[in-house]
Amino acid sequence: MFRNLVSFLYLLITIVVIIVFDKSNYLTFAFLLAIACLMHYDVHVSIIFLFMVGIGGSMTEMIVMYTTKGLWKYRNPNVGLMPMWLPILWAIVGAGVLTLNDFAHA
């Protein structure tokens, strides 16, 4: 139960960070990296899982963005069509889904 509550709080904090630091990719990156590290230690999510979900999610999103010809775009992209913090966001969301899934099946 504690793990699920902590994961949910990290997801809420992630949303707040993205809204508050919308204009700065570097601050968003730093805060999201800190949240991902905290999730690794507090929620006990594997670094390999975080890395794979982060890279896989952001690469899939980039492919969709390239193939849909501008269906959506980010305000401040600095790595191709995406911001540098996107892989970390995917990792955090993947870890959140993983722990909330455990909660649903408990």
Residues 11-49 have pLDDT tens digits of 999 999 999 998 899 999 999 999 999 888 887 888 899
- 48 token code pair: 């390999």
pLDDT in tens, 60-77: 988 888 888 877 778 888
Angle, CA of 9, 74 and 14, to the nearest 5°: 10
The b/e string for 23-46 (b: 16+ C-beta within 10 A; e otherwise) is eebeebbebbeebbeebbeebebe
How far is the C-alpha of 68 from the C-alpha of 88, rounded, in Å?
Answer: 23
Q: Has this prediction a pTM greater than 0.75?
A: yes
